[in-house]
Amino acid sequence: MVTFSAPISYESLKAVLLHTDPNLRFKIAQRIPKIRLTEKAVPLRIESLSLEEFSTTVNSQSYQLGIYQQDYQNSLRLYEDALAKINQLKSEGKTIWEFLDGPMTEDEQRISRIVRLHRGNIERTIEEYRTKLLPFHCRRNNLSPPFTCYIQLTITQGNVKTIQRYAYNHKLYDAAKKLNEILFANRPVIIVSKFEGTMTPMAQMAMAFVGFGGGFDSVWRIPVGMKISANSISSVFGDYNQIVSFSSILNSSRTLQNVGVTVSVLNDQHSFVKNAQQLTISTRTESIHQLIRAFETMDNQQINIDLWGILWGSPSPYEYFQLLEGWLSKERSVGSVITFGLRTEYIGEKILELVINKNERALSRDRWVKVVLKNGTKLKVSCWGLNDHNSSNFILAAIIQKAWNSRKDN
């Protein structure tokens, strides 16, 4: 006798989907069209979300779009030419190495520097030049390109890659928009623990040359009306367009726990930056005075500073001390903290010396200093080492504490 189990109820399906991995939900909805509306209606919970121009990463799974060229004619010609050369050398009784190591003419000497490079690199460079020049050749001669283009979607999770190819009948940015519509369109507010917006590799390379604040953005191809509720966001590059991109999709009713800003152009007046419980700033010494001015309006409970010197060198102890004084120029509530990532313990020791020299009544011990402030609170500045492999090996922290009532207080 054949028995049939009862179909899952609507409410049960919603409960199951609510606790299902988001990437699995995407896959189920694509394979079972009947539950798509239900799947879209159930709030989506994501641990980490990263957006780039042509890439979206949900938790540990990435969706990367690109162009794939299936080249038949050029590949065939290369193989034919290679085979012809091998046959020619064989008929002449020569080996490939004799051909490569033979005497050079003047023209051959001119290219000897390039020949010394790895053969594979030379071949790839030639192919890149040919690929770049080929469209001009085809347009000039009214020819069809000798390859077929596809839009390729690469889904990666760990070491497992799944590749899907589609006809190249629309622009790549349209494909990116369509992908994100499938993933995120027509949903209630998406709940995200960590939201990250990143630059394209080209923008990252340009920033390495011109420094922070170069104004390079990635364009996010996201559906209209998409909203997220995040605990923290990072890799905000601080210029106006980047801040607008984040603010347009953030649920304004929620205060962020942590905002990471990695640029000198700090938009500290924007609500989600100003109201974040913890603000992490990575900037360069050229922007110290700008950052000091910004401190005047910053009420964040904790501010973390990662400061870089010119050409990525180490800033001086006095530059850190300037930032500490700038932070103290505004009256801070008890519990307010500012931290600095340091490369060496020596820098931390020198900063503590500057604090002591500036305050005659400072109380100092090994690796910490305490100072009474004008409003009756006290400032404790301390330095300690880290046991991880971050670029900063030491931390210098300054915290506002209640004033002590006895000499025994430490």
> Strand, coil or helix: what is 84?
helix
CB within 8 Å of 295: residues ≥ 6 apart: 323, 326, 327, 329, 330
Helical residues (DSSP H) of 169-230, grouped into ranges: 172-184, 201-210
Residues 305 and 323: beta-carbon distance below 8 Å: yes
Radius of gyration of the chain (CA): 30
pLDDT at 387: 72
Q: For residues 182 and 175, what is the distance between their CA atoms, to the nearest angstrom? A: 11
Owner of token pair 């404790």:
380
Most confident of the ranges 1-10, 218-227, 294-303, 332-341 = 332-341
Choice between 55 and 94, residue whose per-residue pLDDT is larger: 55
pLDDT at 75: 45
- Domain locations in the chain as residue ranges: 8-41, 68-149, 179-401
Cα-Cα end-to-end distance for the chain: 79
pLDDT at 102: 62
Tokens read off for 82: 């290679």
Provide, rounded to the nearest whole percent, the portion of the chain with pLDDT above 90: 39
> Strand, coil or helix: what is 286?
helix
Band (67; pLDDT cuts 50, 70, 90):
confident
Q: For residues 342 and 309, what is the distance between their CA atoms, to the nearest angstrom? A: 12
pLDDT at 123: 63
From 234-238, 255-259, 360-364, the region with the lowest mean pLDDT: 234-238
Tokens read off for 394: 């030491």
Phi, psi of 176 (to 5 degrees): -65, -40
> Strand, coil or helix: what is 287?
helix
pLDDT at 115: 44
pLDDT at 313: 67
pLDDT at 216: 43
CB within 8 Å of 74: residues ≥ 6 apart: 130, 146, 147
pLDDT digits (tens, 9 = 90+) for 206-227: 444 344 444 445 678 889 999 9
Owner of token pair 């990662």:
306
Average pLDDT over residues 241-261: 79
Q: For residues 196 and 408, what is the distance between their CA atoms, to the nearest angstrom? A: 46
pLDDT at 157: 94
Widest Cα–Cα separation across the chain: 99
Beta-bridge partners for 341 = 395
pLDDT at 16: 92
Q: For residues 94 and 141, what is the distance between their CA atoms, to the nearest angstrom? A: 40
Tokens read off for 142: 């009214």
Band (336; pLDDT cuts 50, 70, 90):
very high
Residue 79 above 50 pLDDT? no
Q: For residues 327 and 397, what is the distance between their CA atoms, to the nearest angstrom? A: 12
What distance lies between CA 314 and its chain's CA centroid?
Answer: 23
From 45-59, 229-243, 386-400, the region with the lowest mean pLDDT: 229-243
pLDDT at 268: 61
Q: For residues 268 and 274, what is the distance between their CA atoms, to the nearest angstrom? A: 6
Average pLDDT over residues 65-74: 71
Q: For residues 306 and 342, what is the distance between their CA atoms, to the nearest angstrom? A: 8
pTM over 0.85: no
pLDDT digits (tens, 9 = 90+) for 25-36: 999 999 999 999
pLDDT at 85: 58
pLDDT at 205: 40
State the burial class of residue 193 (Cβ atoms within 10 Å of its Cβ: 0-12, 13-18, 19+): middle
pLDDT at 42: 95
DSSP state of 250: B
Q: For residues 8 and 11, what is the distance between their CA atoms, to the nearest angstrom? A: 8
Average pLDDT over residues 161-179: 91
pLDDT at 193: 94
pLDDT at 97: 56
From 74-78, 240-244, 252-256, the region with the lowest mean pLDDT: 74-78
Band (267; pLDDT cuts 50, 70, 90):
low
CB within 8 Å of 151: residues ≥ 6 apart: 65, 66, 67, 68, 165, 166, 167, 168, 170, 172, 175
From 99-108, 146-155, 342-351, the region with the lowest mean pLDDT: 99-108
Residue 94 above 70 pLDDT? no
